[in-house]
Amino acid sequence: MWELWKSRNEVVLQHKNFDPIEVKRKVDRWMATARESDDRVNVQSAREGMREMYCFDPSHFQIISDGSWDTTNRAGIAFVIYQGGYIWRIGYSFYELHDPFHAEVLAVKEALLHFQAQMTEERQERLQVFIDCERLVTMVNVEDTDDLPSWRAKEDVVQLINLIKRSPQTITLDLVRREAVQQAHCLANWARRTGARYQGHFAGSDNHGGNIQTTLDQAFFQRVQEAPP
């Protein structure tokens, strides 16, 4: 069987030229992605009927962010920052973008820029960022910006990676299911539909397109296991 397999490969590949540097780059990227997949906690495992979420740490700051996009290229991005599980600041903005992935990137980027503007360099805070875009989590964690829908999106991913690496705060970017980012999702929809923009403290009396919870629903961020039905 081995000899047959070798013979088959010789026939298929005999007229193909491969750049060894490009082959090594692709293998390294694949290996990094595979290692990241092994290390990252799965949001949901359909095969085992199990759900595992990242642990919520109330001693850290938390950010949930999300993007909203429609086929007319209207987009909204939003973030909600919590301190110890209680709402601290919010932000949302309207953009014209050509793809939904770019909205996800800008949501995280604006959230981090806003957060860092409120911190002094002496404060070595720890920050947990939660999003529901698996592609972005993987790209940031393995620093891979290939195969993006646009050069503008790639540029913002590179800036986001550098922002995290150079931050005086320790930042983790984790994947969660959509229900966990619902507050940011509602704000992003509001910005997309109305063109509204806001960044600042959250006041319960303000109308930001819907009711915003003043506390983070920790149930979405506890590491739990559910037996198969």
pLDDT, position 50: 30
- Specify if 46 maps to a domain: no
Residue 162 lies in a domain: yes
- The more confident residue out of 28 and 180 is 180
Does residue 211 lie within any of the structural domains? yes
Euclidean distance between CA atoms 140 and 162, whole angstroms: 10
Take residue 14 and report the two structure tokens written for it. 């005999």
Q: Of 229 and 184, which is predicted with more confidence?
A: 184
Describe the strand order of the beta sheet including 74-83 as a list of residue ranges.
Answer: 170-175, 126-131, 61-69, 74-83, 86-96, 198-201
Residue showing tokens 């940011």: 184
Helices and strands of the chain, counted as H and E runs: 6, 8
State whether residue 103 is helix, strand or coil: helix
pLDDT in tens, 126-167: 889 999 999 999 999 998 888 887 889 999 999 999 999 998
Q: How confident is the model at residue 86 (pLDDT cuts 50, 70, 90)?
A: confident
* Count of other CB atoms within 10 angstroms of residue 217: 14
Scanning 14-80, the segments in alpha helix (DSSP H) are: 20-39
Examine residue 12 and state whether it is found in any structural domain, yes or no.
no
> Is 56 among the domain residues?
yes
Quote the CA–CA distance of 47 and 77 in Å, as a whole number. Answer: 33
In a domain, 77, yes or no: yes
42 belongs to a structural domain: no
What pLDDT is stored for residue 223 in this prediction? 41
For residue 198 the two structure tokens come to: 């806001």
pLDDT score at 125: 73
147 versus 123: the higher-pLDDT residue is: 147
Q: How many domains does the chain have?
A: 1
CATH number at residue 188: 3.30.420.10
Model pLDDT for residues 36-75, shown as the tens digit of each residue = 444 443 333 333 333 344 556 667 889 999 999 999 999 9
Residue 225 has pLDDT above 50, yes or no: no
**Predicted local distance difference test score (pLDDT) of residue 42:** 37
- C-beta neighbour count of 25 within 10 angstroms: 12
Q: What is the pLDDT of residue 204?
A: 57
pLDDT higher at 66 or 206: 66
- Retrieve residue 38's tokens: 């092994």
Backbone angles phi, psi at 2, to 5 degrees: -65, -40
* CA–CA gap between residue 102 and residue 145 (Å, rounded): 12
The per-residue pLDDT for 156 is 94
Beta bridge partners of 199: 91
Residue 8 maps to a domain = no
- Residue 121 sits in which domain range? 51-220
Rounded Cα distance, 24 and 35, in Å: 16
Mean pLDDT of the chain: 76
Q: How confident is the model at residue 24 (pLDDT cuts 50, 70, 90)?
A: low
Q: Is 21 a residue whose pLDDT tops 70?
A: no
User: Distance from CA of residue 187 to its chain's centroid?
Assistant: 17
Q: Give pLDDT, residue 101.
A: 94
pLDDT reported for residue 218 = 64
